[in-house]
């Protein structure tokens, strides 16, 4: 009996050290949220002086098995002369060679331009960023929408 218990403990120890999913826990909701917000702040920091957040929203998106995905969205007002397309190209270049990330650039759906209109960033561990959704609003002028999502986690 002792030998069976010792064997079981050894298997559990080896499995947990080897990274087996049954023994691993993903990030907590709060740490996934903090990491997503940190990613978003990284891109916000590249905007020029004078850019200002005009709206911010945080929502949870339901995932399978009762898990949720944090999604934080900010709308940032920028100057009329700020080249949003060039900023997107620079943002994509920041992550082009970053390990564990994949970058997708979007252009006009009607093929009217080859200028970058949005960039999506996908990490191997479930984080997602999207920059784009340009608009010129009557109340804020030109804006950029920046969203960051974490992986699906239990809350």
Q: Please give the residue that has the higher pLDDT: either 114 or 29.
A: 29
Global confidence as pTM:
0.77
Question: For residue range 99-155, what is the model confidence (pLDDT) as tens digits?
Answer: 999 999 888 767 667 778 899 999 999 999 999 878 889 999 999 999 999 999 998
Instruction: For residue 53, give every residue at least 6 positions away whose Cβ sits within 8 Å of its Cβ, in sequence order, or none.
Output: 44, 74, 75, 76, 77
Residue 25 binned pLDDT confidence (cut-offs 50, 70, 90): low
Cα separation, 153 vs 17, in Å, equals 22
| Mean pLDDT calculated for residue range 68-93 | 94
φ, ψ for residue 45, nearest 5 deg: -65, -20
Residue 4: predicted pLDDT: 41
Q: Please give the residue that has the higher pLDDT: either 79 or 5.
A: 79
């Amino acid at each position: 009996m002792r030998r069976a218990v010792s064997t079981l403990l050894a298997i559990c120890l080896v499995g947990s050290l080897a990274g087996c999913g049954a023994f691993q826990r993903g990030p907590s909701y709060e740490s996934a949220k903090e990491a997503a917000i940190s990613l978003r702040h990284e891109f916000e920091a590249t905007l020029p002086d004078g850019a200002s957040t005009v709206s911010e929203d945080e929502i949870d998106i339901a995932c399978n098995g009762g898990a949720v995905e944090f999604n934080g969205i900010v709308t940032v007002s920028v100057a009329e002369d700020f080249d949003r397309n060039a900023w997107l190209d620079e943002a994509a270049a920041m992550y082009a060679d970053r390990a564990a990330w994949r970058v997708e650039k979007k252009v006009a759906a009607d093929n009217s331009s080859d200028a970058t209109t949005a960039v999506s960033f996908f990490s191997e561990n479930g984080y997602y960023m999207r920059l784009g959704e340009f608009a010129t609003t009557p109340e804020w002028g030109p804006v950029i929408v920046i969203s960051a999502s974490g992986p699906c986690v239990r809350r």
